[in-house]
Chains A and B, each alone.
Chain A
Amino acid sequence: MTGAGRLLGSRPLVWAVLSVPAVLLVTVALTPGADLEELLHPSGEWSARLLVVALALTPLSLLLPRNRLVRWLLARRRAIGVAAFGYAALHTLFYVLAMGNLGDMLAELGATGIWTGWLALLLFVPLAVTSNDRSMRLLRAGWKRLQRLAYPAALLTLVHWVAIHDGVGAALAHFVPLAALQAYRIHRLRSSAPAFSGRQT
């Protein structure tokens, strides 16, 4: 790899790039008279977008095994996943500050669009906390099982987005490709496991 390639792939730079939308969002939030409600959608969308990318990379690498961009991104999937959590946390912070009191938040907790968001955030926490080498070593096989919580978290995120927003279009534009890629992955797993299907009969 060239020097420029190494620099582009370096961890600080990857993190710097992933932080750009957050810096912009926080800058707007700190502007006097800022309406934090307006920042809920963009912060949430960045979280969902990064989650979709993180979950799409494995099936994409099955589909395009030689693609350099996919391989490059796959090597940085942990950072993408942790950033997805970071944006979810920022999204929640904006929500809490915009609401301003516990009573208003509890009053709308029953709305499908709200409890799904809280639950998705809760599922995200153990994922983010264990996204490091130490946790991988400590949890061994359990680590992968734990990280699979990302799938229900993604499903809850989709329901949260669709239920809360005016249109389902943007949500589907993110999640339909992911669903198609996951369907491809399942299709591949099934067709390439004759021993498994043989055992079932």
Chain B
Amino acid sequence: MTLKTIAAVTIAACVAAPALATGKMTCDAPQAQWKPKDQLEQTLAKQGWQVRKSKVDGGCYEVYGTTPEGDRVEAYFHPVTFEKLFVSRRGEVLFKKAQ
């Protein structure tokens, strides 16, 4: 193995890096149909969630918070139906909606 090989491997790793970084969940509803994020937070609060933070990721609403059961998680919801799609805790998948 030579310097060239190591350089090539390094460059390949750096170039491939952004391509490999994908979201955990994607939603493809047109943005015009989305319901407001605040509304999702209110709905979740009524169900017993404690929402710490929410944002848009992969066209879904991504929520960081504590479930009614008391688990500190990161969860994805559909921006139109507010259906729960995916729940994970530190990379460990706790729930994934059946396709």
What residue of chain A has the Cβ atom nearest to residue B6's Cβ? Answer: A180
Chain B residues with CB under 8 A of A167:
17, 20-22
If A108-B90, A167-B21, A172-B17 touch, whether A99 touches B72 (CB-CB below 8 Å) is: yes
Residue in B6, B13, B23 whose beta carbon sits within 8 Å of that of A184 in the complex: B6
Report how far A55 CA is from B37 CA in the complex, Å. 45
Chain A residues with CB under 8 A of B13:
172-173, 176-177
In the complex, the answer to whether A108 meets B72 with C-beta atoms within 8 Å is yes
What residue of chain B has the Cβ atom nearest to residue A161's Cβ? Answer: B91
A89 CB, nearest partner CB in chain B, Å: 19
Residue in B17, B24, B89 whose beta carbon sits within 8 Å of that of A169 in the complex: B17
If A35-B53, A172-B17, A183-B1 touch, whether A108 touches B9 (CB-CB below 8 Å) is: no
Residue in B5, B19, B23, B90 whose beta carbon sits within 8 Å of that of A114 in the complex: B90
If A107-B71, A167-B21, A170-B21 touch, whether A177 touches B91 (CB-CB below 8 Å) is: no
Residue in A99, A112, A165, A169 whose beta carbon sits within 8 Å of that of B16 in the complex: A169
A59 CB, nearest partner CB in chain B, Å: 9
Report how far A165 CA is from B23 CA in the complex, Å. 10
Residue in A35, A64, A111 whose beta carbon sits within 8 Å of that of B89 in the complex: A111
If A113-B92, A114-B90, A173-B17 touch, whether A166 touches B23 (CB-CB below 8 Å) is: yes
Chain A residues with CB under 8 A of B1:
180, 183-184, 187
Report how far A165 CA is from B1 CA in the complex, Å. 31
In the complex, the answer to whether B16 meets A172 with C-beta atoms within 8 Å is yes
Q: B: which residues have CB within 8 A of A?
A: 1, 3, 5-6, 9-10, 12-14, 16-24, 52-53, 64, 70-72, 89-92
Which 8 residue pairs spanning A and B have beta carbons closest together? Answer: A167-B21, A169-B17, A176-B13, A111-B92, A113-B91, A169-B20, A177-B10, A169-B21
